[in-house]
Amino acid sequence: MKWTQTLIPTLREAPADAEIVSHKLLLRAGLIRKLAGGVYTFLPLGLRALRKVEKIIREEMDRAGAIEVLMPALQPKEIWEQSGRAETAKDVLCKVKDRANREWFLSPTAEEVITTLAAGEINSYRQLPKNFYQISTKFRDEIRPRFGLMRAKEFIMKDAYSFDTTDENAMASYHKMYDAYKRIFARCGLQAFPVEADTGVIGGNYSHEFMVPAETGENDVVYCEACGYAANIEKATSGIPKTASREVGAAIEKFATPGVVTIEALAKEPYKVPANRQIKTLVYIADSKPVLILIRGDDQLNETKFAAKTGAVAVRPATAEEIVPLLGAKPGSLGAVVNVPADVKVFADERLQGANDMTTGANEDGFHLKNVSIERDIKVTAWFDLRTVSAGEPCVKCAKPLKIRRAIEVGHVFKLGTKYSEALNAMYLDDTGVRHFLVMGCYGIGVTRTLQAIIEQGNDKDGVIWPLSVAPYQVCITPLAVAPESDAMKLAEKFYAELSAKGVDVILDDRDERPGVKFKDSELVGFPIRIGIGEKSLAKGEVELKPRNGALQAIKAEDAVEAVMKLING
């Protein structure tokens, strides 16, 4: 490609609405342009890089035995009602109506469609296993689009769905995808690692996310350097000890705490009740029903764990207006000892199991209770791990201190089980003629997000640093004179032809620009290899080879093509 023939609108300054480095560089390097919030056009260079990521994904999915299909973006509402997700996923669904007033959803994912397909086309164990994948545009009515391609309303996703006869076989399919994902991200030049994950609204019971470490990520990952344990903070547990049990003390005692509505205030003079001897009582509305959650005073509730453990779909903190009629007191004086309506469930964090000599609210404004023994004095409906892990806590596997860091989620693998095959009646006959539900798994990669993650991880002050595998062009030839008859341009054309013939993706910067402009642009865009051709070195029969992330070297013109091939082939 000649630079003047394509469109590479580089920007000297980043548009003000870009915040993080990868978003700025996507715009500055002329890879994308915004049409509206969370909606972007891919320009020629951005599209080339995107296609390369897709190619890697296709090759690895094919290698892993998956087969490519293309499902519709327009999905009838009915199948979503059948799976139950018309309700549970309603907040992210982009809805459209046709002229007959029929309602459609723009695909945010395709479990319903593929399961409907499988229900019709897969009848026998002889057809299994099968793993279908597609790379397509997905739509989510994001609450808040953010960071360019990182969280967009419209984005490109690779989604795959496996169908197996048994749980055991489904695990094998899962592990094939898990391994394929590791290869995919490695080939994209990404440092991505799998972590245990919550399954969320998609459902299922076993899941890993592939994370790219980055301060700008939207996830917190808990990990152990000693044993390799790693989990999303929404899922992570630690080996932190339960609350120490003391002598079973005196009976409960109510005491006045005027104006004290926080854990911190109760920990200070004159009360001096340490946070780890307090029971924090939270009121949540889980699927429209109020529930109480008990957490130790120095712990934080993990809402994802709470929803996952209780099976709730929609959870939110109750408002003060909801709490007062329920418990008779405002937040700050709440407890689960007295005055809890019989139909209100009480979920307590396991760390409180056996705790006594605790202090908690009295359900009376301005009063607390002490000498509370949780098992003796509170009717707990169920105990769960509900707390959020903090850095430094002992690893659940090896007891070494845990660390936490931010990361970008680029892929997610789930074992789904029979949730969708049951809802959409997808069954097969086994070798004895008995019907079973298909056992499913699903596997997503955010393709456009992966592209941005590559930039987020590969950049410096001058611009993008593409890995060779996904660079829009691998080589940028930069003649410093562009008149057709000039020696520099003649040589540039020769390199261009030779490298192209060898299958190298090469761009020739034929713009009549000053050297500084060309160098700056090639570094901003981030081509992995630049061949500089100028009079000074040409006089010595040399050209300049400049890897984007390495030192410039002078090289004999006749050796240049070979040297480039060496860099490309490693």
Partner RNA sequence: CGGGGCGUAGCGUAGUCCGGCUAGCGCGCUUGCUUGGGGUGCAAGAGGUCGGGAGUUCAAAUCUCCCCGCCCCGACCA
Applying CB under 7 A, which residues contact RNA? 10-17, 19-20, 23, 34, 36-38, 91-92, 140, 142-147, 150-152, 155, 157, 200-202, 209, 218-219, 303-304, 316, 409-412, 444-446, 448-449, 462, 480, 512-517, 519-521, 523-524, 532-538, 544, 546, 552
Q: Please report how close the Cβ of residue 16 comes to RNA at its closest, in angstroms.
A: 3
Q: For RNA, give the closer residue by CB, 207 or 243.
A: 207
Q: For RNA, give the closer residue by CB, 150 or 438.
A: 150
- How many Cα atoms within 13 Å fall on the side-chain side of residue 360? 26
Q: For RNA, give the closer residue by CB, 323 or 445.
A: 445
Please give, one letter per residue, the 3-state secondary structure of 444-489.
EEEHHHHHHHHHHHCEECCEECCCCCCCCCCEEEEECCCCCCCHHH
C-beta of residue 266 within 8 angstroms of C-beta of residue 260: yes
Amino acid of residue 280? K
Q: Please report how close the Cβ of residue 413 comes to RNA at its closest, in angstroms.
A: 9
Q: For RNA, give the closer residue by CB, 220 or 357.
A: 220
Q: Please report how close the Cβ of residue 393 comes to RNA at its closest, in angstroms.
A: 20
C-beta of residue 567 within 8 angstroms of C-beta of residue 529: yes
Q: Please report how close the Cβ of residue 405 comes to RNA at its closest, in angstroms.
A: 15
Q: Please report how close the Cβ of residue 60 comes to RNA at its closest, in angstroms.
A: 16
- DSSP helix/strand/coil, 127: helix
User: For residues 526 and 544, what is the distance between their CA atoms, to the nearest angstrom?
Assistant: 17
Q: For RNA, give the closer residue by CB, 257 or 304.
A: 304
Closest of 298, 302, 293 to residue 233, by C-alpha: 302
C-beta of residue 316 within 8 angstroms of C-beta of residue 285: yes
Closest of 115, 176, 158 to residue 416, by C-alpha: 115
Q: Please report how close the Cβ of residue 530 comes to RNA at its closest, in angstroms.
A: 8
- DSSP helix/strand/coil, 296: strand
Q: How many CB atoms lie within 10 A of CB 257?
A: 21
Torsion of CA 331, 337, 340, 345, to 10 degrees: 90
- DSSP helix/strand/coil, 507: strand
Q: For RNA, give the closer residue by CB, 17 or 430.
A: 17
Q: For RNA, give the closer residue by CB, 14 or 285.
A: 14
Q: For RNA, give the closer residue by CB, 260 or 407.
A: 407
Contacts of 434 (CB under 8 A, 6+ apart): none
Q: Which residue has the tokens 């723009």?
A: 106
Q: For RNA, give the closer residue by CB, 99 or 144.
A: 144
Quote the tokens at residue 214.
């980055």
Contacts of 215 (CB under 8 A, 6+ apart): 406
Q: For RNA, give the closer residue by CB, 20 or 170.
A: 20
Q: How many CB atoms lie within 10 A of CB 107?
A: 23
Q: For RNA, give the closer residue by CB, 296 or 412.
A: 412
Contacts of 39 (CB under 8 A, 6+ apart): 145, 152, 153, 154
Closest of 108, 112, 165 to residue 423, by C-alpha: 112
Q: Please report how close the Cβ of residue 338 comes to RNA at its closest, in angstroms.
A: 31
Q: For RNA, give the closer residue by CB, 145 or 335.
A: 145
* DSSP codes joined into one string, 163-211: EESSHHHHHHHHHHHHHHHHHHHHHTT---EEEE---GGG--SEEEEEE
- DSSP helix/strand/coil, 32: strand
Q: For RNA, give the closer residue by CB, 211 or 260.
A: 211
Burial of 403 (0-12, 13-18, 19+ CB in 10 A): middle
User: For residues 363 and 340, what is the distance between their CA atoms, to the nearest angstrom?
Assistant: 9
Q: For RNA, give the closer residue by CB, 377 or 521.
A: 521
Closest of 233, 146, 216 to residue 407, by C-alpha: 216
Q: Please report how close the Cβ of residue 484 comes to RNA at its closest, in angstroms.
A: 14
Amino acid of residue 395? C
Q: Please report how close the Cβ of residue 356 comes to RNA at its closest, in angstroms.
A: 33
- For residue 93, list its beta bridge partners: none
Per 3-state DSSP, what percentage of the chain is helix, strand, and coil (rounded to 5)? 30, 30, 40
Q: Please report how close the Cβ of residue 239 comes to RNA at its closest, in angstroms.
A: 25
Closest of 527, 523, 533 to residue 505, by C-alpha: 527
Amino acid of residue 492? A
**β-bridge pairing 403-417 and 439-446:** antiparallel
Q: For RNA, give the closer residue by CB, 19 or 87.
A: 19
